[in-house]
Chain A
Amino acid sequence: MHVVIINGSPRVQKYSNTEKIIAAFAKGLSEKGSTFEAYAISNRKTWDMIRDAYLKNDEILIALPLYVECVPGLLLEFLETLPQKDKHTRLSFLLQSGFSEGCQLRCGEAFLEKLPGYLGVRYGGCLVKGDNFAIRFLDEEKQTQITKPYQTMGELFAEGEGFFREEAKKFTGPEYFSLPMRLMIGLIHKTIAKKMLQKVAASLGCSGPLDEKVWETGRIGGK
């Protein structure tokens, strides 16, 4: 199988979590003897090339981050430029988000489920997975480690059944967290996570509180 993978994230590739996920996924494809070509819509100059690849191939995968409950605005703009194709083309999706629970991605997934119909093509399913916000802030070794499960999903995809298999559905993890988990995670977010985020912010040059009401205090980045 030859797969055209399109990174639908508007973030520059270097810092794109989706890009790291694609790398692991594509490794899985290769392991199973499939080939791929990868593109990213963040650079508008490549849009003609991506459209050309979309037209000439029949196995397309769009990997994207969830932006406010649906696809990012830039991806919507790109999608508008795609010509109609027929059912010989299969369009699958890998939808990832920062929020962890599966329930957070279902509204986005529902849009993606109907999208192939608007484009005239066949739906190949949607792999749904949250908890990816921190990937970009990790070192390379940890990034490889954390994205490793996507390699298994690449191997699964190479078997030809899109994301309709039970393993792909289970990959999402819990739909909601149980109450004890919520209490624990809630506590982490009130304490350790806050400190860690403040540290990341400081490394970017921010010295003020992350919840500063800037339009009231007039200070930007704590300055």
Chain B
Amino acid sequence: MVLVVDTTTKHIGKVIAEELFRSGGNRVGFELIDTTGMHISHCVGCNYCWLKTPGVCAIQDDYEPILRKMNGADQVWLVSDTRFGFVSWQTKNIVDRIMPLVTMYLKFKDGQMRHVMRYDHQPDIGIIYTGDGDQAYLERWCQRTALNIGSRSLGVFSENRGKEAVSCML
């Protein structure tokens, strides 16, 4: 299943979805979440999802249904505006709050310490961005983020390369 989480002010996710269906994407499971109007807090770093209520975020807002879908997806595409060459704070909040998928236990993997994941299946992660993103940095960050959850990066695409991103979804 391909999940697109769109936080952009221009609702680029809709354009991506249209492109996917034009490209025969009705063969793949697909869902678009546009976060406009949703209440999604930032992570407050309370560590409850690791130590008090393992796997459950203490903040009760519109985020948990998104996280459940992210956990079940094969691909998660973050569609984001950019600031300082990086993803927007709205997208970073969505990523910061994936911690319930991660346990407090640690292990070494490929020479670096990693958290032990809570569930067996991990989604790959890709980025589609608007504006003046720092392509090289976004690629590095996406790879490192995927590494943290034991998956891989699907790549980073500016909105005008949306077709290329869509070809990775098929």
A residues neighboring B (CB under 8 Å):
9-12, 15-16, 42, 65, 67-74, 76-77, 79-80, 99-101, 103-104, 107, 110-111, 114-115, 118, 176-177, 182, 185-186, 189-190, 193-194, 197, 200-201, 204-206, 208-215, 220-221
Measured between beta carbons, the chain B residues less than 8 angstroms from A42 are 44
Asked if B52 and A206 make an inter-chain contact with CB atoms under 8 angstroms apart, the answer reads yes
**A197 in contact with B118 given A10-B43, A74-B42, A114-B85 (CB within 8 Å):** no
Which single member of A16, A76, A114, A210 contacts B104 (CB below 8 Å)?
Answer: A210
Which single member of B55, B71, B92, B119 contacts A70 (CB below 8 Å)?
Answer: B92
Q: Classify chain B: how many residues form its interface, as a range.
A: 35 or more
**A221 in contact with B118 given A72-B43, A114-B85 (CB within 8 Å):** no
Interface residues as binary, B91-118 with A (CB distance below 8 Å gives 1, 0 otherwise): 0110110100001111110011100101
With A and B bound together, what is the CA distance between A103 and B50 in angstroms? 23
With A and B bound together, what is the CA distance between A107 and B140 in angstroms? 7
Most chain-B CB neighbours within 10 Å: which of A10, A11, A100, A104? A10
Measured between beta carbons, the chain B residues less than 8 angstroms from A209 are 54
Distance (whole angstroms) from the CB of B113 to the closest CB of chain A: 5
With A and B bound together, what is the CA distance between A59 and B167 in angstroms? 48
Asked if A69 and B44 make an inter-chain contact with CB atoms under 8 angstroms apart, the answer reads no
B45 sits at the interface (CB 8 A)? yes
Asked if B141 and A70 make an inter-chain contact with CB atoms under 8 angstroms apart, the answer reads yes
Most chain-B CB neighbours within 10 Å: which of A42, A193, A204, A210? A210
With A and B bound together, what is the CA distance between A103 and B90 in angstroms? 26
With A and B bound together, what is the CA distance between A15 and B44 in angstroms? 11
**A68 in contact with B46 given A204-B52, A215-B68 (CB within 8 Å):** no
With A and B bound together, what is the CA distance between A173 and B27 in angstroms? 50
* Number of cross-chain contacts by CB at 8 Å: 151
Measured between beta carbons, the chain B residues less than 8 angstroms from A186 are 107-108
B77 sits at the interface (CB 8 A)? no
Asked if B86 and A76 make an inter-chain contact with CB atoms under 8 angstroms apart, the answer reads yes
Most chain-B CB neighbours within 10 Å: which of A182, A189, A215? A215
Measured between beta carbons, the chain B residues less than 8 angstroms from A104 are 112-113
Distance (whole angstroms) from the CB of B9 to the closest CB of chain A: 13
B21 sits at the interface (CB 8 A)? no
Asked if B96 and A182 make an inter-chain contact with CB atoms under 8 angstroms apart, the answer reads no
With A and B bound together, what is the CA distance between A204 and B111 in angstroms? 32
Distance (whole angstroms) from the CB of A84 to the closest CB of chain B: 12
With A and B bound together, what is the CA distance between A208 and B107 in angstroms? 21
Asked if B103 and A211 make an inter-chain contact with CB atoms under 8 angstroms apart, the answer reads yes
With A and B bound together, what is the CA distance between A44 and B108 in angstroms? 37
Measured between beta carbons, the chain A residues less than 8 angstroms from B93 are 73-74
Which residues 128-144 of B have a CB within 8 angstroms of A?
134, 137, 140-141, 144
Distance (whole angstroms) from the CB of A94 to the closest CB of chain B: 16
Which single member of A10, A71, A221 contacts B52 (CB below 8 Å)?
Answer: A221
Most chain-A CB neighbours within 10 Å: which of B45, B88, B93, B145? B45
